[in-house]
Amino acid sequence: MTTALTTSEKRTLEACELDIEKGASMVGRAMQTIRDDRLYRATHKTFEAYCQERWKISRQHAHNKIAHTEVVAAITDQLPEMSTMVDKIPERATRQIRDLEPEQQAKVIEVASKQGTQVPTSKAVASAKEQLEDFLEGDDEEETEEAPSPSIILDDCNRSVPDHLSAHYELGARIASCARTLDATLRELNELGKLPGSEFLHVADLETRLRAAKKEIRDSRYWTACPRCDGSGKCDLCGFRRFIPVSSKGLLTQPEKDVLKCN
């Protein structure tokens, strides 16, 4: 692979480095562009070496900046009307909610923004996150208490799970449990990344991979019995599995979705 930069890449690198020198709010995005497009390759073999020699910062410090930008972008997508305020959220605050889903991140910031300051502080974000986690735990307890009788198992679409698919459904529940375990791992990684000596623990990279793994795990679980063959396994939609995983919801026709009445 060539190490030389094209004219366009050189201009992009110059613009990114100018943003970094100014200490602008675009530092994270500039770092991300340099890392993802390997704009450092003309002078350095690795992004880590580039960060250390060009900016005197660790690779982890750069990734923290990048992660901050990603969180801000995700929240802005969810709360476009609050974009001006969201842009001013400090990195210390966004670091606390990296382990949450974008919708949850936005909810935390929305709650934190109502705690008396123009821009949510790290303390306000921590408090709002704790409220959200308490709320989610409460939902889990209610779902456990109100679980249907074992003789009538209902799936995500509130449809009765056929007896011959009950094992598949139970496996789906275990798969969902694995995804929740990853949530706990993400939270712990985020905490470890704040401790001295964690420079070589590339938290941002690990978080990205774990989030992708969590989505893949969740998308593979049982969603509902195949509506096209009524769970007989005699159609091309379910691939003879007799059920539809979460990842296959998009393959349903509109009439099938209307029959299921399930998002």
User: 225: pLDDT confidence band, cut at 50, 70 and 90?
Assistant: confident
Helix axes 47-55, 27-36, angle to 10 degrees: 140
Q: For residue range 109-145, list pLDDT tens digits in order.
A: 988 888 777 788 888 888 888 888 776 665 554 544 5
User: 180: pLDDT confidence band, cut at 50, 70 and 90?
Assistant: low
Residue ranges of domains in the chain: 149-260
Indicate if the alpha-carbon torsion angle 100, 212, 67, 83 is positive or negative.
negative
DSSP 114-125: TSSSSS--HHHH
Q: For residue range 147-156, list pLDDT tens digits in order.
A: 444 445 666 6
Q: For residue range 72-115, list pLDDT tens digits in order.
A: 989 999 888 888 888 889 888 898 898 888 889 999 998 888 87
What residues contact 76, with CB distance under 8 A and at least 6 apart?
Answer: 82, 83, 86, 87
pLDDT at 173 over 80: no
Q: For residue range 82-94, list pLDDT tens digits in order.
A: 888 888 898 888 9
CA-to-CA separations, 184 to 52, 86, 205, 212, in angstroms, rounded: 31, 26, 17, 15
The amino acid sitting at 241 is R
